[in-house]
Amino acid sequence: MITIEINKVRQNLFQINGVEKKPLALPEADGPAVSRQEKVYVPVEEHPEYNFVGRILGPRGMTAKQLEQETGCKIMVRGRGSMRDKKK
């Protein structure tokens, strides 16, 4: 179910009816750069059997890197279970 939702979001973000979106031609920015931040809480307690961190990061972090390149956003996974080394 999560995989279906992830694929649906990717299609909406990066394609329209199978046709890749073209980058918008935007005018030069005026004033200082604005930084936005959004925390997204993952429902681990409702779905303890699902590996959310592994799904978000992907093999060698490739999924997160791809999403960062395509969206221009920085993706950080923090909290319990986000470290590869269980001792940390």
Q: Model confidence at 12, in pLDDT bands (50, 70, 90)?
A: low
Of 7 and 69, the structure prediction assigns the larger pLDDT to 69
Residues 76-84 have a mean pLDDT of 75
Q: How many CB atoms sit inside 10 A of residue 18's CB?
A: 6
Q: How many CB atoms sit inside 10 A of residue 76's CB?
A: 10
Q: What confidence tens digit (pLDDT) does each residue in 16-42 have? A: 565 666 666 778 888 898 888 888 888
End-to-end CA distance of the chain: 31
Q: In sequence order, which ranges of the chain are alpha helices (DSSP H)?
A: 2-14, 52-57, 62-71
Q: Residue 54 corresponds to which tokens in the numbers above?
A: 């592994």
Identify the pLDDT of residue 15. Answer: 58
What is the C-alpha R_g of the chain? 16
